[in-house]
Chains A and B, each alone.
Chain A
Amino acid sequence: MLLVGDSGAFALGPRPIVERLGTDALTHEDRKSLAREGLLVAEEDALGQVAHGHALARRIGGAGALDYLILVPTLRCNLSCSYCQVSRVAEHSKGFDWNDRTLTAVLEIIDALEVDQIKIEFQGGEPTLRPDLIRAVIERCERFAKRQFVICTNLQRLDDEVIALFDRPDVFISTSLDGDVSTHARQRTGDAATTDTFLENLRFVVDRYGATKVSALPTVDPASLPNMDALVDSYVAHGIDSVFLRPINYQGFARKRHAEVRELDAAWRDYHAAFVRRLIERNWMDRSRVLEETYFSICLRRVFQPGADRHVDLRDPNPVGVDYVVVDYDGHVYPTDEARMLTRSGVIDLAIGDVFQGWQGDMRDQLNAHATNRFDPTCQRCAYQPFCGRDLIDDLSRYGRIDLPRHETEFCRRHLAMFDLVFELIYSEEPAVRHSLARWLRLPGTPSTFGAVLS
């Protein structure tokens, strides 16, 4: 049985220890072994108490000052995917780009940031339709000691202006690759010529910049799960080793056209688990490269390396509108990209303000009063609470409320299955499993064990 403390310390223990915990009948030996694994701190152990407090604080972390902006300079797009994750309008529509006033306000926000590092993600629409706006923002960020810009693009059109942006060492490229040619064409590009253009451009940027600068995500239709090896091979063919297996999101336009994805079922979870196991097999067969499924790796690192990833969809507490915000084409500010999609879909208006008047108001504070799982009665009884998170927007999207018992939500079911798999693999004795876990944790070697077992 898995025992987990508030700070995320964990160990497997036999049922009798758990029974003695439940009846206040721990033996001296029980206490010693629990203390050894950080699962029990004696009242007289002052150093142990401080260490536990430190571990707990590190686990809980906290959102810092605003240093992460997701910017939507245009809502226009030159593709029309059936499940578009973001709301979009046709390429030649009018009135869906930042105007001068919006750009000025965004630049003033950047000027006012009291941080020395910044990350900006350009989303859309297709942001490369307005390279001038991207350039204006990037040039305004020269004062930051550390800068990272991610341009999320469909790579359908590369011209000199866009390539000049990509050439910057602080610019990274994120795109979508849904699998083999036929899958990508069916789900995104629609025809062979458009697909060929995308694949040529993807090849161009990978060859020019190397795979470390280019990331790609597949959007997977749970109703039509792709062949795992074919999907992985399509990434490997472009030198990309990380696959973020992402089901169609129940947001934006996908909500209307793929209503069945509100609840991901066991088939999806089984597919994901099988996908991770397949990567483990392939990593063992060919140890010259490390394939990984990004979200599994994020969850794994949540167990061992709290704070290693700044993945804002899985953290606790998960306040909105504090350390990151989304600025839409019209200057409205949203807590997350999903909130923007929900608003565009007409489900609920989740704008928390705008770039002209700010967003530090009641709306944000009301949401943030519920931004932690620490006091949720269901989560308090879950072994995975220290590793898991809270996603208010996901709950609002699926159920229109945030007060459902946690174990009745898709978020909970998905992460229960995810962490079940994480811990199953942590306690696996197979060398192939330990090899992949070590690589996904970025360890230099491979430990003989990843988790303690109480005797």
Chain B
Amino acid sequence: MGTDQIEELRIGAAGPFEAALHWLIAFHPSISADGAEDGGMVLRSSLLSRSQMEDAWACALANERLLAGNAEDREAVLSTLVS
């Protein structure tokens, strides 16, 4: 936390990549994302360490894949229970 330099993390454009990136930046506004030459992305932050960015990206990607994977069934069950 609070590093003086800007940390970078290269990520590949696989899986529910765009949604994960959207929510990653929503939850961690200190992270910016730029396109890389290989089609992937580079994440940068002056507040988070590289390890923290790796954790955050792993969470974002896992969340999106799990939410998308069973969205309809999940919503049906939860709707029933909530109502």
Are A1 and B59 closer than 8 Å at their CB atoms? yes
Q: Which residue of A lies closest to B27 (CB)?
A: A407
Q: Which of chain A's residues has its CB closest to B63's CB? A: A381
List of A residues within 8 angstroms of B50 by Cβ: none
Looking at the assembled complex, report how far the CB atom of A322 sits from the nearest CB atom of chain B, in whole angstroms: 12
Question: How far is B41's CA from A349's CA once the two chains are assembled, in angstroms?
Answer: 49
B21: Cβ under 8 A from any A Cβ: no
- A317 adjacent to B82 (CB under 8 Å): yes
What's the least CB distance linking A427 to chain B, in Å?
15
Give the CA-CA distance A187 to B14 in the complex, in Å: 58
Nearest chain B CB to A420 CB, angstrom units: 13
**In A375-422, which residues have CB < 8 Å from any B CB?**
375, 378, 380-381, 405, 407
Q: Which of B31-68 contact A (CB under 8 A)?
A: 54-55, 58-67
**Residues of the B chain whose Cβ atoms lie less than 8 Å from the Cβ of A374:** 78, 82
Residue pair A22, B65 in contact (C-beta under 8 Å): yes
* Contact partner, A19, options B58, B67, B75, B81, Cβ 8 Å: B58
Q: Is B1 an interface residue (CB 8 A)?
A: no
A380's closest neighbor in chain B, by CB?
B67
Size category of the binding interface on chain B: 20 to 34
Are the C-beta atoms of A372 and B58 separated by less than 8 Å?
no
Contacting residues, chain B, for A51 (C-beta < 8 A): none
Find out whether the CB atom of B62 lies under 8 angstroms from the CB atom of A53: no
**Beta-carbon contact of A18 and B59 below 8 Å:** yes
Residue of B14, B27, B63 contacting most chain A CB atoms (<10 Å): B63
A401 to chain B, nearest CB (A): 18
B67 and A381 contacting across the interface, CB-CB below 8 Å:
yes
CB distance from A34 to the nearest CB of B (A): 12
Instruction: Give the contacts of B2-31 with A (CB-CB under 8 A).
Output: 14-15, 20, 23, 26-27
Partner of B81, one of A18, A22, A60: A60
Residue of B nearest to A408 (CB): B26
Verify B82–A22 contact, CB threshold 8 A: no
**Cross-chain contact A15 with B61 (CB below 8 angstroms):** no
Q: List 10 A-B contacts (CB under 8 A).
A: A1-B59, A22-B20, A22-B58, A22-B61, A23-B15, A24-B65, A57-B81, A317-B82, A378-B26, A380-B63
Seen from chain A, the residues whose Cβ lies within 8 Å of a Cβ on chain B are 1, 6, 15, 18-19, 21-24, 53, 56-57, 60, 62, 317, 372, 374-375, 378, 380-381, 405, 407
* Seed contacts A60-B78, A381-B27; 9 additional CB < 8 Å A-B pairs: A6-B74, A6-B78, A15-B54, A15-B55, A19-B62, A22-B20, A22-B65, A378-B26, A380-B67
